[in-house]
Amino acid sequence: MAACKCAERSIGVCGQAAHPRPPCGGSLDKRRLRRAATRRLSHWGSMRFLLDTQAFIWWDTKSAQLSPRARSLCNASANTMVLSIASAWEMQIKIQIGKLQLAVPLETMIDDQRRNNGLELLPIALPHVLALSNLPSLSDHKDPFDRIIIAQAIVERIPLMSIDPIFSRYPVTVLW
């Protein structure tokens, strides 16, 4: 395979070919990794993104709270948006206890996104559950839905789309 000529060359994150580590040999800061992940999007042409629950709701309802970058990535027909079954579970629980109201039934919302935008559903599998043991234990973040979604993003090696700043404290690529 020919060496890649992409902008990620100096930081070793391109998926097409192996690249040298940074010249300093040190670790990479998160900001550089996020910028590189964004550049990869145009380099690869299409990607999968795991939407957290709030990002999915804002995408579906065309809310102005979805960032312009997130909206652009969601609306790019080459990209595939992925929704964890954990998010569907979380939304259903919140609907039942009165903490979430949707304009349409949850089943309709998900079915419409699958049909109109190619939304992919991600089941919870044993490797996702076992990956929870590798997540840092944060005393101020115990949300089981967030943690399984983070574990899924890590196991599946897909970026997580979320506005939640707590996600950046985990070893996962977060885009917003």
- This prediction's pTM: 0.72
Going residue by residue through the chain (176 aa), what tens digit of pLDDT does each one get? 444 444 433 333 344 444 343 444 444 454 454 445 545 544 446 899 999 999 999 999 999 999 999 999 999 999 999 999 999 999 999 999 999 999 999 999 999 999 999 999 999 999 999 999 999 888 878 889 999 999 999 999 999 999 999 998 889 999 99
The answer to whether 106 and 95 are in contact (CB under 8 A) is yes
The answer to whether 120 and 80 are in contact (CB under 8 A) is yes
- The CATH number assigned to the domain with range 46-175 reads 3.40.50.1010
* Residue-range domain boundaries for the chain: 1-45, 46-175
Task: Provide the strand spans (E) within the chain.
Answer: 48-51, 80-84, 120-122, 160-161, 174-175
